[in-house]
Amino acid sequence: MRLKLFFYLFLILFSSCTHKKTFTEKLSHRIPWNELHLNGISNNIQFERQSIHADFSDLQNFVSEFKSKDENFNLEEFEHQWNLFFEKNDRLDWNEAEVKKWIETTGLLLELTNKTKYAEELENTFGKVGSDLQQLITPYVFTKRVDHIYVNIFQPLKIEYKHSLGGDVTFRQECNYPESGSVTMHFGMTERRYIEIYVRIPEWAEGATVTVKNVKYFTAPGSYCLIAKKWKDGDIVEVELPIDKRPQ
């Protein structure tokens, strides 16, 4: 009996010693520059040193820990600190270098969580900054999980990639947001392929519609509308947002 008890205790201790903590992985990934197609896009942006309005050191520490795969990285605490930072800082006063840090931290949280609030903040930032900073946000217009696409920001953009089962995929978004709430997404395919599309529905967009071939999909403000199907060349997703409800 004692021998059996000792054996079980040994297994428990051995299991606890050999168990490794799983490091946080991204749920989706921003689009690589070589898959983006937009005239004049560049990732070669430099900023001059300017006066400091906000202390990003805590948020930047989380970014550094994630990049180095530090086992102390804590996603829940990262989100908590981001929320505190969001509430206490007036982002209108920031210089370009500070906005760049905000885009980096918010974009990373979008990739890690797929939460719409981070996409919404990137979209709001996009509308308040110049073209150089907008280029830093462009890779987050869509994020991708293997073959599946998250539509995070309503801006004209085309991406091209190879489907994991073979064949080329082109996904193009047409819109004039926020002047218009009409958004159209076009598929170009060499082979018919299964892809999940997640369309962000803004928090203010009660009554938004997402339609594919006269089929309307369920939408809820502050979430993603999922369309999961096999797509073929020429397929279209039509989105209508009640733009009159959008906060100014």
pLDDT in tens, 78-129: 999 999 999 988 776 788 889 999 999 999 999 999 999 999 999 999 999 9
Same domain, yes or no: 163 and 245: yes
Same domain, yes or no: 103 and 158: no
Q: Do the domain assignments include residue 7? A: no
**Number of domains within the chain:** 2
Same domain, yes or no: 98 and 198: no
- Domain region containing 37: 30-45+52-140
Tell me the average pLDDT of the chain: 87
Picking from 114, 140, 166, the residue at the C-terminal end of a domain is 140
Q: Do the domain assignments include residue 170? A: yes
Q: Do the domain assignments include residue 125? A: yes
Same domain, yes or no: 61 and 112: yes
Q: Do the domain assignments include residue 4? A: no
Same domain, yes or no: 122 and 92: yes
pLDDT at position 42, please?
Answer: 45
Q: Do the domain assignments include residue 240? A: yes
B/e letters for 159-197, b = 16+ CB within 10 Å, e = fewer, are bebebeeeeebebebebebeeebebebebbbeeebebeb
pLDDT at position 45, please?
Answer: 43
Picking from 88, 119, 140, the residue at the C-terminal end of a domain is 140
Q: Do the domain assignments include residue 8? A: no
Same domain, yes or no: 210 and 229: yes
Same domain, yes or no: 104 and 149: no
Mean pLDDT, 10 residues at a time, over the chain (248 residues)? 51 49 85 74 46 79 95 96 90 84 96 97 93 93 96 96 96 96 97 97 97 96 97 98 93
Q: Do the domain assignments include residue 14? A: no
Same domain, yes or no: 119 and 62: yes
**What share of the chain has pLDDT > 90, as a percent?**
70
Q: Do the domain assignments include residue 192? A: yes
CATH code (residue 163):
2.60.420
pLDDT at position 52, please?
Answer: 52
Picking from 122, 140, 158, the residue at the C-terminal end of a domain is 140
pLDDT at position 89, please?
Answer: 81
Same domain, yes or no: 187 and 153: yes
